[in-house]
Structure 1
Amino acid sequence: MALLKLSSAICSSAFALGVAPSLPHAASTSSRSLSWKRSSPFHGALPSTVSSPSGLPSSVVAPRASQATGVSAEAENLNEKYGTEGVKVQSGEGGLTKVVLSGRDGSEAEVYLYGGCVTSWKAAGGKDLLFVRPDAVFTGKKPISGGLPHCFPQFGPGVIQQHGFARNVTWDIASTQNDGGSPTLVLGLKPSDYSRSIWNYEFSVTFKIVLGEKKLTTEMVVENTDTKSFSFTTALHSYFRADVSKTSVTGLKGCKRLDKPYEDPANPVEGSEDRNVIEFPGFVDTMYMNTPNVLVLDNGLGEKLSIRNEGWTDAVLWNPYLTMEACYKDFVCVENAQLSPVELQPGQSWTAKQSLSLGYMVN
């Protein structure tokens, strides 16, 4: 994403929009005191301390297949342990381990353990509704560029590395099941020496993915397992397949917004959204505060998606336009986010749900 630097305090007449998560004992969810800036592309190279798998703890480095087209021993072992109806663990691109969810109706989703990233969601008989960028790499050296990447425990740049660390570590499978024909995968993320070197807190994150008929539901739970409080910000940086020239989003009218113009990036514009239908005629990088729990995305390809949320307080719309000329016409990002710091005391937890539903055909 492009450069945006902004720091301001919330007062009774204005909001500071965006994020740099505070350290412990910083603002709680009620304070809305924020600082947000985007200084590099979302999928820029990781810092030099984590740029090579050989330099990461073994728990961080994603497993590689023994052969280019083979199945890793780890994938085989995990499939024996967790594989069930509609849930299969396999080797994916680059030998990274993925979990494939398959519905009885022919729907399908793919989730990579590296980054805990959902990279594909197809309704029965349909094309992929998510988008993975052509410059995405599956090496375990940098985050996967596309799908539903995690930003945790920080959205954007700030006191730790860009967008936190959850998108560039391997998550564990906590459980799988198939309840009434809905394959379900629960992933877990806990501290490691690597995470503690960046963010020295004890925590537990679970990410539940449920594949339904024309629906993909996720639930994220963050728990403070430390003896001291901590604060965090987070988002699902969701990439949707689209024809950007025909794409639109509805549901944000009246929300507070911060818009970064392509022509004048140094001067973001703060205001209120007055459009019923938001289109993408060029560069779009806009954050919305206190958003409603339902947005509708018309992807311009004949499909409408309902994006419902519980617990996600904010949203981000992004299309890089000519800053990513190779693929900007083929996707938009509509992101559920928590942009003001959430402070958790020991033993407390925070939960947010997202439900993507395929609506009626436009054409």
Structure 2
Amino acid sequence: MSSEKVHVEHCKGVNGLDKVILREIRRCSAEVYLYGGQVTSWKNAHGEELLFVSSKASFRPPRAIRGGIPICFPQLKSTGSLEQYGFARNRIWSIDLDPPPSPSDISHKAFVDLILTHSEEDMKIWPHRYDCRLRVALGPTGDLMLTSRIRNTNTDGKSFTFRFAYQTYFFVTDISEVRVEGLETLDYLDNLKNGERFTEQEDAITFESEVDKVYLSTPTKIAILDHERKRTFELRKDGLPDAEAACVEEPITLKPGEEWKGRQEISAVPSSYCSEQLDPLRLLLRG
């Protein structure tokens, strides 16, 4: 078997849906479904699953896959004829045969480029032409990287405005044993209180009941600590000001021909490695 086949495999998944399996030499892996352009699995070198997918996930279009990393575009809330979280996660993406160069990923062999473009049916609910590109890559040490590019391809001279998010579902053992660091003193919108704006008062975010908050203008790095599993997820992002890796409060506007780029990188490391380095100041300064 050639080395290329080891790193990237195109095959069938649940219910015959097309998917791509990415593998790195240290046995880290990720699975990406063309339906939704959605990452549904990310495993470390020990074969441990790092993402959560609901046991009730149907993998039957047009229902979105529940879990993994859904792509939310072009919106995050129901507006007019557009469904909540947009339509990108309910569409069949294609393999991108002519992706733009990505110098930062050039050394990575385990990656796939996908593309979603406008359809006549979609233009009835969102009347714009666009290219939405996604690169999913595994780093040599198992880091998971998602890079999105959205270009306005309208031919009528019109700009369009959109919101975007990587709605990542992490696999944790006990939510009461989880805390998030790096969001201290920041403003957030509480969706359980009609989107009202508050300022975070706690030193770290913990979970004792249902939570649905969008933290605004967050640092480029945040950490999710799973005490029971002694594991820390480190999130780095670029072009996505809000948590988790999203543009929520301030939408993005593109003129014809303009392109937006957003990126998320996730690492999973032993908590002991991070525990003394994740106060807010050190978190921001880590390279």
Q: Which of 19, 24, 40 in structure 2 is aligned with 1:98?
A: 19
The answer for the alignment partner of 2:245 in structure 1 is 336
Indicate the SS of the match to 1:284. coil
Q: 1:154 aligns with which of 75, 83, 90?
A: 75
Q: Which runs of 5+ in 2 are unaligned?
A: 274-287
**2:152 maps to what in 1?**
224
Amino acid at match of 1:245: S
Matched residue, 1:237: 167
Residue 349 (structure 1) aligns with: 259
Q: After superposition, what is the alpha-carbon deviation per residue over 1:267-287, rounded to whole angstroms, capped at 9, x for unaligned?
A: x55221122210111110111
Once residues 238 and 210 of structure 1 are traced to their aligned partners in structure 2, the CA distance between those partners, rounded to angstroms, is 15
Distance in 1 between residues matched to 2:166 and 2:106, nearest whole Å: 25
Greater Cα offset, 189-198 or 287-296: 189-198
Determine if the alignment matches structure 1 residue 192 to structure 2 residue 119.
Answer: yes
State the 1:115 CA deviation: 0.3
Paired with 2:108 and 2:259, the residues of 1 have a C-alpha distance of 29
Contact 2:24/2:142 (8 A) holds in 1:
no
Rounded to whole Å, the distance in 1 between the matches of 2:113 and 2:85 is 22
| 8 Å CA contact retained: 1:104, 1:181 | no
* 1:169 maps to 2:169: no
* Residue in structure 2 matched with residue 69 of structure 1 by the alignment: none
Match of 1:287 among 207, 211, 214: 214
TM-score by length of structure 2 reads 0.85
Superposition pairs of residues 240-319 of structure 1, within 5 angstroms: 240-242=170-172, 243-261=174-192, 265=193, 269-300=196-227, 301-315=229-243
**1:123 partner letter:** N
What is the distance in 2 between the residues matched to 1:361 and 1:283? 25
Which amino acid is 2:85 matched to? H
* Residue type of the alignment partner of 1:149: P
Residues 229 and 181 (structure 1), Cα distance of their counterparts in 2 relative to 1, 3 Å cut? closer
In the TM superposition, 1:74-89 aligns within 5 A as: 84-89=5-10
CA separation in 1, counterparts of 2:255 and 2:15?
40
| Aligned 8 A contact 2:27 2:47 in 1 | no
Matched position secondary structure for 2:22: strand
Unaligned runs of at least 5 residues, structure 1: 1-82, 316-334
1:192-223: CA deviation from partner (whole Å, max 9, x where unpaired):
12211211111001001110113001101110
Question: Residue 245 of structure 1 aligns to a residue in which SS?
Answer: helix
Q: Is the 8 A contact 1:251 1:276 kept in 2?
A: no
Name the amino acid aligned to 2:184.
K
Q: Quote the RMSD (CA, aligned, Å).
A: 2.0
Match of 2:36 among 112, 115, 130: 115
Greater mean deviation of Cα atoms: 118-127 or 167-176: 167-176
**Bigger RCO (CA 8 Å, 6+ sep):** 1
Please say if residues 29 and 142 of structure 2, whose CA atoms lie closer than 8 Å, have aligned partners that are also in contact. Answer: no
For the residues of structure 2 that align with 1:348 and 1:269, how far apart are their CA atoms?
33
Residue among 64, 72, 97 paired with 1:143: 64
TM-score (norm 1): 0.68
Asked if the contact 2:108–2:137 (Cα under 8 Å) also holds between the matched residues in 1, the reply is: no
2:277 matched residue in structure 1: none
**3-state DSSP class of the match of 2:256?**
coil
What secondary structure sits across from 1:138 in the alignment?
Answer: coil
Determine helix, strand or coil for the equivalent of 2:75: coil
Q: Which amino acid aligns with 1:166?
A: A
